[in-house]
Amino acid sequence: MEQRRLQDKKELQTILKTTDGTDVILKLRRDSEYLEVKVKPVRSKKNNCMLGIWVRDNAQGLGTVTFLNSDSRFGALGHGIHDTDTNALMEIRNGRVYETSIRSIQKGIDGNPGGIEGIIVYNRYNVLGKIDKNTSSLVGEVEFKNLFQDTDPMEIMQTDEIKKGDAKIRCCVEGKVKEYKIRITKIDKHTREENKGLEIEVTDPKLLEITGGIIQGMSGTPIIQNGKIAGAV
């Protein structure tokens, strides 16, 4: 039996068209173990051979770039991308960062986290960089070198320097990057989750008017205190 290493779900669909309903054996990885599963394709109403499985080979979403260093390396989102069904951190081969236009903002209220709706045009003109790691945040390299040419360098604040009290976040909910007032209300230096060390409260009247607080799509928004980056949303 011929063995094929598949690159994407489209290739799987193409191969199934040639099986004529004969059994196929899928070699899968579950955590660190490999297993083989025999599956018999069935024909759909359109006479296509199908396995009855759900295959996903990409993910997309909207978030905020947190920082860019002098080597054009960036960090974004403030958390990794997890599978929506299993909540497992997804392994990625690579990805792209695109410029996004904000279409609308759904204000957060009790019981509804709200969110930013954006428009992404998937063409080479809107590509800003590439993603090569999906860990506790997205990490990659900016290809469009002039993206942050008008910004000033900022130091990273050490954990012991962070204090409860006034701080700012910098985001783009009004169409351009602006700073908004917040308060750091809790600091947990011993948290087991590295992206759960700060609790913040939005105090800026304008931001509360627009978003109601922190909403989906603001993940990665840098937290700034005393002119240094203290963390990210």
The whole-angstrom distance between residue 114's C-alpha and the CA centroid of its chain comes to: 17
Catalytic: 44? no
Query: d(Cα 188, Cα 4) in Å, to the nearest integer?
Result: 49
Q: Which of 72, 132, 136, 204 is catalytic?
A: 204
Catalytic: 190? no
For residue 160, CA distances in Å to 75, 156, 157, 163, 189 come to 22, 12, 8, 8, 8
DSSP state of 17: T
The single residue listed with the structure tokens 């205190």 is 225
Catalytic: 101? no
Q: Are 232 and 136 in contact (CB under 8 A)?
A: no
Q: Are 198 and 161 in contact (CB under 8 A)?
A: no
Q: Is 80 exposed, middle or buried (0-12, 13-18, 19+ CB in 10 A)?
A: middle
Q: Which of 79, 136, 150, 160 is catalytic?
A: 79
User: Could you tell me where the beta strands, DSSP code E, fall in the chain?
Assistant: 24-30, 33-39, 42-43, 49-50, 65-68, 73-76, 95-98, 100-106, 115-120, 127-134, 138-142, 155-156, 165-171, 178-187, 198-202, 222-225, 228-232
Catalytic positions, written as ranges: 79, 204, 219
